[in-house]
Amino acid sequence: MLRRDALLLIDAALAEDVGPGDFTTLWTVPEDRQAEAVVVAKASGVFGGCYAATETFRRVDPHLEIEAAFAEGTAIEPGDVTMTIRGSARSILTAERTALNFLQRLSGIATVTRQYVRAVEGTGARVIDTRKTTPGMRWLEKAAVAAGGGTNHRFGLHDMVMIKDNHIAAAGGITAAVEAVRSQNDLGLAVEVETGTLDEVREALAAGADRIMFDNMTPEMMREAVEIVRAHGEGGPETEASGGITLETIRAYAETGVDYISIGALTHSAPSLDLSLRLTAL
């Protein structure tokens, strides 16, 4: 089931595209014309966003029959028919672009995520997303990351405390920032602290952070940072790598023993997967 904010987004996307009416379709297609349409993959990738596309068609016309040939997160190849839609030709054509926009965008995110996940296989590190998402599309994009095999980080500012460099500067240091949070954290939120040096790692560890982020460190430095945290003993904080890590370098970071690797590119730089809709009048 889609979240209410995702449904509102779909409605807004349709309103943006259709406006006062799809006049091309209304003026060229007979009202009673029925059709069957298939969504075909034109590139290899991972299928994502089927729920959003399905709901888009249903918002335009609840009488459309929609069948998905693949589950979310399934690998697809060129020529694969991913979805079939039957019913009013007018309805299918009006919903087509908005539905494909969701499918292509979310399949692209799932595809890129799968590439990163495969790159760290066997290391124990988990690939996680960030808040660098398209405004209004966060839930859908994070669901696409999960479809690609990734793990979702915090959804927003409200479900985890992440003390970053600017918070630290404003609070007067890592220790002061963590102590301030601990004194007010009646919600029991986990506390993560961003660090950029080994001394900051030690300070975050001493302050009692639940997770320590290693930002813009080299793999060599990160390996040492992981060892510092592990030396703390059983039940120590989780560790996270962040900052400019690419598909080419992620394996080296994963092999440091870090628990999580956050990749903003999963959502802010993923290219859309090429999919097209082909309609046949009945």
At 89-138, the pLDDT tens digits run 999 999 999 999 999 999 999 999 999 999 999 999 999 999 999 999 99
Catalytic residue among 22, 192, 194, 240: 194
Do 250 and 140 have their domain in common? yes
* % of the chain with per-residue pLDDT over 70: 99
Which of 58, 86, 164, 202 is flagged as catalytic? 164
Please give the Cα distance from 46 to 42 (Å, whole number): 12
Range of the domain at 14: 4-117+271-281
Task: Please state, in angstroms and rounded to a whole number, the distance separating the CA atoms of residues 125 and 136.
Answer: 29
* CATH assignment of the domain containing 179: 3.20.20.70
Exposed/middle/buried for residue 27 (C-beta within 10 Å: 0-12, 13-18, 19+): exposed
> Are 137 and 227 part of one and the same domain?
yes
User: How high is the pLDDT of residue 214?
Assistant: 98
- Put the strands of the sheet holding 126-128 in their side by side order: 126-128, 260-262, 238-242, 211-215, 191-195, 161-163
| From 33, 58, 59, 97, the catalytic residue | 97
Is 55 found in the same domain as 170? no
Please indicate, yes or no, whether residues 94 and 183 belong to a single structural domain of this protein: no
Please state, in angstroms and rounded to a whole number, the distance separating the CA atoms of residues 87 and 17.
Answer: 21
Provide the residue type at 145 as one letter: V
> Structural domain tally of the chain?
2
Mean pLDDT of 62-83: 98
pLDDT of res. 3: 80
For residue 258, pLDDT over 90 is answered with yes
Nearest to 59 by CA among 37, 91, 34: 91
Are 90 and 47 within one domain? yes
CA distance 41 to 143: 20
| CATH code: domain of residue 106 | 3.90.1170.20
What pLDDT was estimated at residue 163?
Answer: 98
Pair (109, 96) in one structural domain: yes
Query: In the annotation, is 194 catalytic?
Result: yes
* Distance between CA atoms of residues 107 and 176, nearest Å: 43
Indicate whether 128 and 264 sit together in one domain: yes
Co-location of 103 and 127 in the same domain: no
Choose, from 200, 215, 240, 251, the residue flagged as catalytic: 215
Q: Would you call 132 a catalytic residue per the annotation? A: yes
| Percent of the chain topping pLDDT 90 | 96
Does residue 42 have an active-site annotation? no
41 and 68 fall within a common domain: yes
Q: Does residue 188 surpass a pLDDT of 70?
A: yes
Q: Are residues 42 and 129 in the same domain?
A: no
Residues ≥6 apart with Cβ < 8 Å to 150: 113, 116, 117, 126, 127, 128, 129, 266
Q: Of 10, 1, 9, whose CA–CA distance to 53 is shortest?
A: 10
pLDDT averaged over every residue in the chain:
97
Which residue in the list 132, 223, 259, 274 is annotated as catalytic?
132
User: 97 and 179 share a domain?
Assistant: no
Q: What is the pLDDT of residue 233?
A: 84
Q: Inform me whether the pLDDT recorded for 1 exceeds 70.
A: no
Mean pLDDT score, 153-164: 97
Q: Does residue 172 sit in the same domain as residue 260?
A: yes
CA 171 to mean position of chain CA atoms: 31
Q: Is 97 marked active-site?
A: yes
Cβ count within 10 A of residue 32: 8
**Cα–Cα distance measured from residue 111 to residue 141, given in angstroms and rounded to the nearest whole number:** 12
121 is known as an active-site residue: no
pLDDT tens column, 13-59? 999 999 999 999 999 999 999 999 999 999 999 999 999 999 999 99
pTM for the model stands at 0.96
